[in-house]
Amino acid sequence: MPDRIALFSLLLTLAFAGPVTAATQTFGLDDDQAAPAARPQAEWVRQAQVLEKRADWQGLLAWGQAWARAEAKNPLAWFVQGRALGELGQFAEAIAAYQRNLRFAPGDVYARNNLGNAYRDSGRPREAMRAYRAAVETDPDYIQAWHNLGLTFYLTKGQAGVTQALQKLQASDPALAEVWRTLAIEYSITRDERVARQAVRVLRGLSAVERARMFGILFDEG
């Protein structure tokens, strides 16, 4: 066990020796995790995608505001505003936009991930970690949110704090320690999603009680 902890400490040093950034969920990029859009909203969605790809954040904000005026209860209209506001550095407003998004779509893990980013960037890491946690508890396959959770956990607690959490997890259940080490550290080093997905498969095999125990230890929930 001491050798594994020493190796883990070395991995921490390697993983976070350089600049670290949170993974932001985009709205319109053509990948498997682009924010979902209903077909009747095609024009709103298409223009939002164009503005995002141009990095026209003021334009995207204005478009999202117009969309919300037309469809005040459409969560995507608020996601678009949150995306733009986050890029503009208006984090309090971005938080409010994502919260409106989640009021209408509580299961939107993409909004929860970006809400976590806005909390983190505004100096509220505890709220950020809760948002990322909610995202991965809803969808354990959402690798970006796992990365952000591990990254923010490290930046908040430091190397000693993360190592201590790993030791507690190891004492409680080695499977939990292995999942956290893989998702929070190895994936951050390699950015190889195969590494993360292997850990997620283990995580999915754990009971709800075991997952709750893991987060309880990590979040010092007694």
* pLDDT at 106 (0 to 100): 94
* pLDDT at 27 (0 to 100): 64
The secondary structure of residue 92, as a DSSP letter, is H
Are the beta carbons of 106 and 75 closer than 8 angstroms? no
Cα within 13 Å of Cα(128), Cβ side: 29
Retrieve residue 193's tokens. Answer: 């999603």
* Residues in CB range of 58: below 8 A, 6 or more apart: 84, 88
Strands of the chain (E only): list them.
none
Sketch the domain layout of the chain as residue ranges.
2-20+145-218, 39-107
Q: Which CATH superfamily is domain 39-107 in?
A: Tetratricopeptide repeat domain (1.25.40.10)
Q: What is this structure's pTM?
A: 0.79
Dump pLDDT digits (tens) for 177-217.
Answer: 887 877 766 776 677 777 777 777 877 777 878 888 888 88
Q: Does residue 17 register a pLDDT over 80?
A: no
What's the rounded mean pLDDT across residues 87-114?
96
Are the beta carbons of 218 and 165 closer than 8 angstroms? yes
Q: Does residue 39 register a pLDDT over 50?
A: no
Dump pLDDT digits (tens) for 138-178.
Answer: 888 888 888 888 888 888 888 788 788 888 888 888 878 88
**What is the C-alpha to C-alpha distance for residues 120 and 215, in angstroms, rounded to an integer?**
19
